Chains A and B, each alone.
Chain A
Amino acid sequence: MKTDEELVKEAVDGNNQSFEEIVFRYEKLIFSIAMRMFNNVEDAKDITQEVFIKIYKNMEGAMGRGSFKSWICTVTTNTSIDELRKRKRKKTVPMEKSQEFVDQEPVPLEQIINDEKKVLIENAIDKLSPEEKQIVILRDVQTLSYDEIKDSLNLTLGTVKSRIFRARKKLQTIYTELSNT
């Protein structure tokens, strides 16, 4: 299997099949990040398309930049934040995951609790500000390192540490509130 760097190089040279391979690899990731940023399928679709066009136009800039995945994650969260700033946030619809969970077959109690926790977490993420969502998604969902976040967002290490702390603290507060209701 070709590495991301090889595919990017081929795509830069004009090979559209290589770019399609990149789309296959990352459409789920980008769509998921966009879903967490917007909690809305249509918006997530629009953002995913916009992000891929940005990637296509700026692939040369992605070469030699370090982790391609961390670059994609950052482009996605930044694009989402820009979009959220531009317009009023649309009214959220219940996430598909919540619906799926209701329709599923009975499962062991422990797993139900786990899944319930995840639904609560998703809902808690949704209540964060766009910037807080960004940092939580990059660090705790996509598990980017502190250095990767620092480089991607062009921040100092101290700022990254304090932003992660504040976002987590707020998420924890919201999560506790949601758990008690």
Chain B
Amino acid sequence: MHDNYLEKISLYVDHQLNIQEEKELLAHIDTCEECKSYLQELKDIVLNLNSLEEFEPPKELHNEIMDKINIEYNKKNRTKKIINLNFSLKNVATVAAAYLVVTFSISALLNSFNGTESTSNSEMAYVKSYGTSIETNTMGAIASEAEVNVEEDTIENMEPRLFASPQKSMSGVNNTRYVEKNTYIDLNCENVEDVKITLMNSYNINNLNTNEDLYAYLEVEVSLDEYDGFADYIAGFGEISSTNSVVVDNTNQVIILNNKLKEKRLQIERYKELMKNSQDAGELLYLTNSISALEVEISQLNKEVTQLYNKHNNPVIILTANKTEVNIKTDEISLLEKIKNAFITSLNVTTDFFTYLSLIVAVLLPYLAVAIVIIYIIQKQRRGGYEK
């Protein structure tokens, strides 16, 4: 019975009783010396407990705590990295395995229909397009054709051999040539301004220089598909007085850019490898920043390569529109014919490039897929116990 009051005294000290309970308790305390004394002692103890001071921790404790936290931090990050790697590798390996199954199934099916020897689809397409006319050059990456002085060539005497089809040398280096071709056309017309304005409204003009109304240089980039149409189009503005063509071989430039790209990608791989083994926050930050900088450089290089490819795929026609009257030879072959002759080789190079690219992809992809699956299995065996 008395314990009941003592518990209520404890609640009373903490203001946990309602008014009615409080009144009853205080009425009891007035008549009970034991409870009165207990209340006083409890208040005193609670007051002292409330005002107990905190203990000053030893000075070294803070650093000891942070050392342990840093160990935990590194552990956490390392585990996260490995798990991420395994996750991504797992996904890639799954896709690769699925690709292998589908590829080999289709290949087996096609072979059973055709009864031919195993040849990849891309390779067949390549042979079909070029038949026996493919020239071979097994001497290395830079073919001897590069030595030809292309500036002296005209539309009439350009030969397809100048723009060799992609070859595979003995060392396995792709020998594709990247040729940028500019055709200069002089056009005598009644009104330069009309030509200029019409072209600006119809084609993308890269450069435009005018000298009052006497003449205008217009650099027009057209795709091979619309080339015939363009030839017809400009013929309507006046008479063609002369044509010339300049071929620029960008192969070396492309090779240099691709080598730079390869080097930077390798550098990124090396940095990523270092990151896996590094536990130093400063070093990790430096590596992350370096990778970001390299990625920016790669993006820039890719842009340059794309620009070169575009030049290679889309011929530039520099049109000089003249007001000056000149005698025009009527026995010249038509502009359309000249243009066709001039760009037929470019067409070959372009088609060759993509065909060869698809051939490489088709040949290498299965090997790549097998390699990914093997790497995944090795990784899994090596780190099998870690994730658990």
Contact = CB atoms under 8 A, between A and B. Distances in A.
Interface of A: 16, 19-20, 23-24, 27-29, 31-32, 35, 41, 44-45, 48-49, 52-53, 56-57, 96-97, 114, 117-118, 121-122, 136, 139-141, 143, 146, 161-162, 164-165, 168-169, 171-172, 175-176
B55 to A, nearest CB: 5
A172 B42 contact: yes
6 contacts: A20-B66, A45-B57, A56-B72, A118-B48, A136-B49, A161-B16
B10 interface: yes
A169 B46 contact: no
B49 A52 contact: no
Given A53-B72, A57-B72, A97-B55, A27 B65 contact: yes
Q: B interface, how many residues as a size bin? A: 20 to 34
B46 A140 contact: yes
A124 B118 CA distance: 91
Contacts of A114: 48
B279 to A, nearest CB: 13
A23 B61 CA distance: 10
B374 interface: no
Among B38, B52, B66, B72, find the residue whose CB has the most chain A CB atoms closer than 10 A: B52
Contact of A32 (B45, B55, B69): B55
B72 A29 contact: no
B41 A176 contact: yes
A121 B52 contact: yes
Interface in B43-90: 44-46, 48-58, 61-62, 64-66, 68-70, 72-73
B57 A27 contact: yes
A27 B66 contact: no
A121 B45 contact: yes
B11 A161 contact: yes
Given A97-B55, A165-B7, A169-B10, 8 more contacts: A24-B62, A28-B55, A32-B55, A35-B55, A56-B69, A118-B53, A172-B38, A175-B41
B246 to A, nearest CB: 58
A165 B53 CA distance: 23
Nearest to A161: B11
A118 B69 contact: no
B65 A52 contact: yes
B14 interface: yes
Contacts, number: 102
A154 to B, nearest CB: 20
Contacts of B65: 23, 27, 48-49, 52
A52 B46 CA distance: 29
B41 A172 contact: yes
Nearest to A143: B50
B58 A140 contact: no
A22 B102 CA distance: 56
A28 B57 contact: yes
A29 B14 CA distance: 23
A32 B57 CA distance: 8
B283 to A, nearest CB: 16
B61 A48 contact: yes
A20 to B, nearest CB: 6
Closest 9 CB pairs of A and B: A140-B49, A31-B57, A32-B54, A165-B10, A165-B7, A32-B55, A35-B55, A52-B65, A28-B54
A44 B57 CA distance: 9
B55 A168 contact: no
A117 B48 contact: yes
Contacts of B45: 121, 140, 168, 171-172, 175
Given A28-B57, A171-B45, A161 B7 contact: yes
Contacts of A31: 54-55, 57, 61
Contacts of A53: 68-69, 72
A27 B55 contact: no
Contacts of B51: 118
Contact of B68 (A41, A49, A161, A165): A49
Nearest to A140: B49
B64 A121 contact: no
Contacts of A168: 10, 42, 45-46
A39 B243 CA distance: 101
A77 B306 CA distance: 66
Contacts of B14: 139, 146, 164
B55 A141 contact: no
Contacts of A118: 48, 51-53
Contacts of B58: 41, 45
